[in-house]
Structure 1
Amino acid sequence: MPVFFALFSLFVKALIIITFLLVAAFLCYCLYVKYIHMKFDHIPGPPRDSFLLGHAPTFLRSIKNDKLLHDNLLEWTETYGPVFRINILHYVSLCTSCPEATKEILMSSKYPKDKLVYKKLFYLFGERFFGNGLVTAQDHELWYKQRRIMDPAFSSLYLRGLMGTFNERADKLMDKLGDIADNNVEANMLHLFNCVTMDVIAKVAFGVDLDLLTSSSPFPKAVETCLKGLVYYVRDFFFEFNPKNRPYIKEVKEACRLLRTTGAQWIHKRKMAIQNGEDVPKDILTMIIKTAAAEENMTAEDEEFMLDNFITFFIAGQETTANQLAFCVMELGRHPEILEKLKKEVDDVIGMKQDISYDDLGKLIYLSQVLKETLRIYPTAPGTSRYIMEDMVIDGIRIPGGVTCFFSSYVSGRTEKFFKDPLTFDPDRFHPDAPKPYYCYYPFALGPRSCLGQNFAQMEAKVVMAKLLQRFDFTPLPGETFDILDTGTLRPKSGVVCTVQHRNYTN
């Protein structure tokens, strides 16, 4: 019995010591948070929801209620000005819409992508996802090596050679829409655009025929699952620790594994074909493998980077373009005057031609304006961020070094200061003779880390929209909402469900 009491006494003492240490550690952490507050509280910003959680509860409420986080940022910009702070635990981020700061930071390679966000994109609930691909690589030399490998696959000369595939896949969409029109059924335009853009990226990048418009595939669901899971993973620090979320997390991880396993198989099969001297498609994957082979000091990690970029292209190469096309149809459906002007341009440039040429794309000037205006109001990739290592001044406010700076193209595109009547859809803002926006329009980011595939994406969008306008009339269903769904990228919440009719050229 004395031994029991002695052991119990030791246990109680140990418990008291551990409790004391935990309380002391918590108090030290609170002091550190207070220090961070004092360091950055001279910067304007909304009141914190709580001392420790900062503004996290506001963001979590937005996610829970299917509200757009970027609307919070827009509201705070209108209230607190072109630079304001956001607190979450001991982290401080800034959101800025100041054009001079946007120019200085995004146009320079000395400001790396921030670790807080882009490091989380490396893994998705423990599964390697974007890894160290072009979008997420923070080290400049690592990024530059990959960019050097990828650049030839996105040269203007190579992109010209993709027009045949753009036309072929767009024609399959037109065939599908023809069936829909003939059968007088509704068309979910977002779903159809997702199918065709994924078909395009699979074919032109990896030489694979998915034919999603006529056959089923697990890829669209896997991409959607990963993107939605990514929103929870990045924005909700506590999501993966909630036992109720485990089945969903398992589903996300399986979707991630499916994409990476498939990518590894496609890459291995192509490399073997090249090594065996077989005829291989002259697509982006072949270009990447051959260019990488010419690089010195290729390592096993470089092979993993190739897979990282497969995921990057497979998702970014189709998701954002599909969303842009759907938003474009959504806006044209409520602006008949713009739609008619656009149809006239397509008729004048394309006429009744089956195939659209590269030169035709350059003549579709008003269509370019419409697509740019679509991305102004609905930037499908709504922002980017950089890490500010040294002290600087933004809009007269001293910014201490060691902070993440977020640039929201959604906020800038909807700010009255930069665009008069910002919620009015007006393609003439991007007329060739109109003044160009000064570092407040960047749907593909800016500077050396701007989107490598932006020309690819806009060529594809032009071909699909031109063929759609050439052959069909479309009308959104009554009661269709214009709400936006945030799945990491922005997409129309309703899916843009339309009735579709063949165009009547007899009048």
Structure 2
Amino acid sequence: MAVFHMILSWTAQALVFVLFLLFLAFLGYCLYIKHLHMKYDHIPGPPRDSFLFGHSPTFLKVMNEGGIVHDKFLEWAETYGPVYRLNLLHYPIICVSCPEATKEILMSSKYPKDDFLHKRLFNLFGQRFLGNGLVTAKDHELWYKQRRVMDPAFSSLYLRGLMGTFNERAEKLMTELSDLADQKTEAKMLQLVNCVTLDVIAKVAFGVDLDLLSNSSTFPKAIEMCLKGMVYNIRDTFFALKPKNRPFINEVRESCRLLRTTGAQWIQDRKTAMQNGEEVPKDILTQIIKSAGKEESMTQEDEDIMLDNFVTFFIAGQETTANQLAFCIMELARHPDILQKVKQEVDDVIGMKQEISYDDLGQLVYLSQVLKETLRIYPTAPGTSRELRQDMAIDGVHVPGGAIAIFSSYVCGRMDKFFKDPMKFDPDRFHPDAPKPYYCYFPFALGPRSCLGQNFAQMEAKVVMAKLLQRFDFTLVPGQTYDLLDTGTLRPKSGVVCSVRHRTHKQ
């Protein structure tokens, strides 16, 4: 019995000691946060909601009410100026809408992707997500090696060769819309263009026919779940600790696994074809395999990075383009004069042709302006971030090193000081003779880490929009909201439901 009491006593003492150590650790963490507050509090910014959590309760409140966090960033930018401070636990965040600083930081390779975002995109709730792929890789050499290998799959010469696939997949959408017009059935445009862009990326990037307009698939839902999971993983530090979120988290993990398992199978199939001496396209999948180096020396990390890039391109290659197309259709339907003008251009350039050529795209100047203006108001990937390792001055404000800088194309695109009457949809802002926006318009980011696929995306968007404008009249079904939905990327909340009719006034 004495031994038993002795063991209990030792256990109690050990527990007290552990609790004391935890208390000291927490006290040390609080002192560190206090130090960071003192270090950065000379920078203007909104009052913190909490000493420990900083401004994250505001983000969660906006999200829980179905709002757009980026609208809060815009409100703060207009209140506190082009450089303001936020806090999230022990991360000081500097929000920047100063064009000179945007140019200096985004156009340089000296400022890496930040650790905060990297950690939360590397894994989603313990399941590897984007890992060290092209978007998330922090190490410059690792990123540069991947980018150099991927570049040929996005050269203008290779992109010209994709026009056949762009046309073919867009034609399937036209067939679907023709059926809906004949049946006088409403068209859910966001859902339809999502199917097309996912079809396109599967075919041109990975050599796989999904044909989503005819077949059901788990991929669209899996992508949506991953993006939703990404938002909560970034904005709610303790999301995974709340028991009520377990079903959602499990579904997100399963969606990640589905995408990576699919990628592993498609990569293996392509490797087998290459080993058998079969002719394979110089597409993204081939470049992903090449980026891993020689097979005999491949490590597990090389294999993982291949899957990281598969998931990156699979999601980034379709989600943002589909959302841009849906927003573009929504705005054209709301502005009949602009719609008529862009239809006239399509008629003049394309006429009755079914096959749109690469050279045709260059002549669709006003359509390009419409697509650019769509991304100004609705940047589907709203911003980017960088790590500021050294002290610097931004717009006259001293910013100590160690902070994360956030650059929001959404904020800049909706500020009156950069774009007069910013909520007015006006494609003439991007007329060839109009002054170019000075580092306040960057829907594809800027500099060396800008989006590799931006030309791919805009070619695809032009082909789909040109065919739609050539063949159909469309109007928005009444009663829809024009609100946005923030699922990591921005999308139209109501899905852009349209009544579609065949155009009857063609020459």
- TM-score above 0.5, yes or no: yes
Quote how far apart the aligned CAs of 1:322 are: 0.1
Pair 1:33–1:467, CA change in 2 (3 A): same
In the other structure, the counterpart of 1:217 is 217
Task: Name structure 1 gaps, 5 residues minimum.
Answer: none
> Secondary structure at 2:398's aligned position in 1?
strand
- The 5 A counterparts of 1:96-495 are 96-289=96-289, 299-495=299-495
Quote how far apart the aligned CAs of 1:424 are: 0.6
Q: Aligned partners of 1:303, 1:27: CA distance in 2, in Å?
A: 42
Task: Pick which of 236-245 and 294-303 moved more.
Answer: 294-303
Pair 1:300–1:27, CA change in 2 (3 A): closer
- The answer to whether the 8 Å contact 2:326/2:496 transfers is yes
Quote how far apart the aligned CAs of 1:333 are: 1.1
The superposition leaves residues 284-331 of structure 1 with CA deviations (integer Å, 9 ceiling, x where unpaired) of 323444576579976442332222111111000000000000000111
Which letter does structure 1 place at the counterpart of 2:318? Answer: Q
In the other structure, the counterpart of 2:35 is 35
Pair 1:20–1:108, CA change in 2 (3 A): same
The superposition leaves residues 414-448 of structure 1 with CA deviations (integer Å, 9 ceiling, x where unpaired) of 01110001111100000000000000000000000
Q: Aligned partners of 1:296, 1:407: CA distance in 2, in Å?
A: 42
Which letter does structure 2 place at the counterpart of 1:242? Answer: K
Pair 1:299–1:4, CA change in 2 (3 A): closer
Q: Aligned partners of 2:23, 2:302: CA distance in 1, in Å?
A: 45
Q: Aligned partners of 1:226, 1:290: CA distance in 2, in Å?
A: 27
Q: Aligned partners of 1:500, 1:167: CA distance in 2, in Å?
A: 20
- The answer to whether the 8 Å contact 1:114/1:138 transfers is yes
Which letter does structure 1 place at the counterpart of 2:144? Answer: Y
The superposition leaves residues 101-137 of structure 1 with CA deviations (integer Å, 9 ceiling, x where unpaired) of 0000000001000010122101111111111110000
Q: Aligned partners of 2:160, 2:289: CA distance in 1, in Å?
A: 20
Which letter does structure 1 place at the counterpart of 2:319? Answer: E
Which letter does structure 1 place at the counterpart of 2:186? Answer: E
> Secondary structure at 1:119's aligned position in 2?
helix
The superposition leaves residues 67-89 of structure 1 with CA deviations (integer Å, 9 ceiling, x where unpaired) of 10101100000000001111112
Q: Aligned partners of 2:506, 2:87: CA distance in 1, in Å?
A: 62
Pair 1:337–1:40, CA change in 2 (3 A): same
- The answer to whether the 8 Å contact 1:149/1:292 transfers is no
Which letter does structure 1 place at the counterpart of 2:85? Answer: R
> Secondary structure at 2:499's aligned position in 1?
strand
Task: Pick which of 21-30 and 296-305 moved more.
Answer: 296-305
Which letter does structure 1 place at the counterpart of 2:399? Answer: I
TM-score norm. by structure 1 comes to 0.97
Q: Aligned partners of 2:249, 2:504: CA distance in 1, in Å?
A: 50
Which letter does structure 1 place at the counterpart of 2:424? Answer: T
Q: Aligned partners of 2:393, 2:236: CA distance in 1, in Å?
A: 30
Q: Aligned partners of 1:456, 1:123: CA distance in 2, in Å?
A: 27
Q: Aligned partners of 1:279, 1:32: CA distance in 2, in Å?
A: 58
The superposition leaves residues 145-184 of structure 1 with CA deviations (integer Å, 9 ceiling, x where unpaired) of 0001100000000000000000000000000000000011
In the other structure, the counterpart of 2:83 is 83
The superposition leaves residues 187-207 of structure 1 with CA deviations (integer Å, 9 ceiling, x where unpaired) of 110000000000000001111
Quote how far apart the aligned CAs of 1:13 are: 4.2
Task: Name structure 2 gaps, 5 residues minimum.
Answer: none
Q: Aligned partners of 1:132, 1:469: CA distance in 2, in Å?
A: 40
Q: Aligned partners of 1:363, 1:437: CA distance in 2, in Å?
A: 22
Q: Aligned partners of 1:293, 1:39: CA distance in 2, in Å?
A: 44
Task: Pick which of 31-40 and 73-82 moved more.
Answer: 31-40
Pair 1:487–1:18, CA change in 2 (3 A): same
Quote how far apart the aligned CAs of 1:281 are: 3.9
Q: Aligned partners of 1:11, 1:217: CA distance in 2, in Å?
A: 55
Q: Aligned partners of 2:86, 2:402: CA distance in 1, in Å?
A: 14
- The answer to whether the 8 Å contact 2:288/2:310 transfers is no
- The answer to whether the 8 Å contact 1:192/1:213 transfers is yes
> Identity across aligned pairs (percent)?
74
In the other structure, the counterpart of 2:503 is 503
- The answer to whether the 8 Å contact 2:146/2:291 transfers is no
The superposition leaves residues 350-405 of structure 1 with CA deviations (integer Å, 9 ceiling, x where unpaired) of 00001000000000000000000000000000000000000000010000001110
Q: Aligned partners of 1:59, 1:204: CA distance in 2, in Å?
A: 38
Q: Aligned partners of 2:294, 2:12: CA distance in 1, in Å?
A: 66
Q: Aligned partners of 2:15, 2:119: CA distance in 1, in Å?
A: 36
> Secondary structure at 1:144's aligned position in 2?
helix
Q: Aligned partners of 1:470, 1:75: CA distance in 2, in Å?
A: 40
Q: Aligned partners of 1:146, 1:297: CA distance in 2, in Å?
A: 17
Number of aligned residues: 507
Quote how far apart the aligned CAs of 1:348 are: 0.4
Task: Pick which of 317-326 and 292-301 moved more.
Answer: 292-301
- The answer to whether the 8 Å contact 1:111/1:388 transfers is yes
Pair 1:54–1:276, CA change in 2 (3 A): same
- The answer to whether the 8 Å contact 1:163/1:358 transfers is yes
Q: Aligned partners of 2:98, 2:304: CA distance in 1, in Å?
A: 38
TM-score norm. by structure 2 comes to 0.97
Quote how far apart the aligned CAs of 1:22 are: 3.2
Pair 1:16–1:276, CA change in 2 (3 A): closer
In the other structure, the counterpart of 1:46 is 46
Which letter does structure 2 place at the counterpart of 1:97? Answer: S
Quote how far apart the aligned CAs of 1:64 are: 1.2
Quote how far apart the aligned CAs of 1:18 are: 3.8
Q: Aligned partners of 1:363, 1:431: CA distance in 2, in Å?
A: 13
Q: Aligned partners of 1:22, 1:506: CA distance in 2, in Å?
A: 75
- The answer to whether the 8 Å contact 1:134/1:143 transfers is yes
- The answer to whether the 8 Å contact 1:153/1:288 transfers is no
Which letter does structure 2 place at the counterpart of 1:326? Answer: A
Which letter does structure 1 place at the counterpart of 2:199? Answer: D
> Secondary structure at 2:120's aligned position in 1?
coil
Which letter does structure 2 place at the counterpart of 1:66? Answer: G
Q: Aligned partners of 2:16, 2:146: CA distance in 1, in Å?
A: 54
